[in-house]
Amino acid sequence: MEQTLSVVILAAGQGKRMYSSLPKVLHPLAGKPMLRQVIDAARALQPQKLCIVYGHGGDQVRAALSDIDAEWALQEQQLGTGHAVRQALPFLPAEGMTLVLFGDVPLIRSTTLQAMLQAGNGDSMVLLTDVIANPKGYGRIVRDAEERIVRIVEEKDASDAERHIREINTGIMLLPNQHLGGWLERLSNRNAQGEYYLTDVIGMAVADGVAITSANPAASWETYGVNSKVQLAELERIHQQELAKALLEQGVMLLDPARIDIRGELKAGRDVSIDVNCVFEGKVVLEDNVRIGPNCVIRNTHIGAGSEIAAFSHIDDAVVGKSARIGPYARLRPGAELAAETHVGNFVEIKKAVLGKGSKVNHLSYVGDAEIGAGVNVGAGTITCNYDGVNKHKTVIHDDAFIGSGTMLVAPVVVEQGATIGAGSTITRQVPAEKLTLERSKQVTVPGWSRPLKNK
């Protein structure tokens, strides 16, 4: 019979060394709170019960993760890891196993946690341990002559001989529920820190004849905790290096793997090239043969095959069709939908607008709340005047229209198919099909005028 799995995540710490009003577990790594990273790893195990022990900044923590289906256990006083797990006891079933994780250990992999589950037999305890060159600051794993784990000793309570042990406790452990409640009740705070150590249940397990096994992470950094902004920055770089490595192994060309940031999910097809200093946020899809120039920021966007995004372009919540050309210095805002073979050039902003196949907006223009057909050319400096100070209005430009440079399209307005608008026009009424429409005031030169002089 398959064992019931519960997961308890300890997330009550203040994080004084972060020097921030933001609770430690909410500081972002790869674009999302550390606690959410841990929750994602736990969810991959499909636990029957998920319990988060929270404390410092509790309202902020719960509000930031209000979408999480979990039990929330309040630890009003932070009296140690054993005390924290005790707060979760009322939410845990009497049988099965409980996996204890930490909200400030954000890089733990679900594969490592799965290995812990496989190392246990349903009634044993499993510790995640690691052997490191410099174990200073960590609790040491103490084994007997037959290499069986008998206890964990914290460094402040360790003897000189015990401090030379290189196998350390990561704190992550899998515990049998049938013993857990009794062990937690027997914990004592008679130690250098005056806290209730969860690690003290190891000795109790030995005394009760419960088998203790161990598993190891694939990489030591999986178990690194965050107590400062320095450590957070170090883990960010480790994580980004791993993401870059995965992209390279998939065949993506990264011109410098050390200069890319992925803060979400990036899916890339074949023969994709990404230049330096690009940031990808949310869910981004790059189809085959997409080229991303340097210094681009792309968020929640789908880019079609063969498209090229030139340098310094910002794309947010947009759809870009196949073989499009965007940038440099272009901005696509939410609701921008570009069909195949479109061009959006330098210093052009597109917002909540559709561009049909082959249409071009190449220079210094703003297109907002608009529907533009196929084969349209929008000249430099064109603006869709979509906002009257209260409401937004729509501009519709039908296929094959030509919009001269410097045109103001005062919405709501319609430009019919094949129409041409002369440069410098301010359009306020419907433009007929296949005709040239101009709107210009008479040019006047004022005789006798002189430029004013600056007062002395």
- Catalytically active residues are 363
**What is the separation of C-alpha 195 from the centre of its chain, rounded to a whole number of angstroms?**
35
Rounded to an integer, what distance in angstroms lies between the CA atom of residue 238 and that of residue 222?
Answer: 10
Please name which of 221, 214, 229 lies closest in space to residue 109, comparing C-alpha atoms.
221
CB of 284 closer than 8 Å to CB of 296: no
Burial of 442 (0-12, 13-18, 19+ CB in 10 A): exposed
Check if the beta carbon of residue 318 is closer than 8 Å to that of residue 301: yes
3-state SS string over 193-225? CCCCCHHHHHHHHHHCCCCEEEECCCCHHHHCC
Cα separation of 1 and 317, whole Å? 46
- Give 455's DSSP letter: P
C-alpha–C-alpha distance, residues 312 and 321, integer Å: 19
Please state the separation of Cα 76 from the chain's center in Å.
30
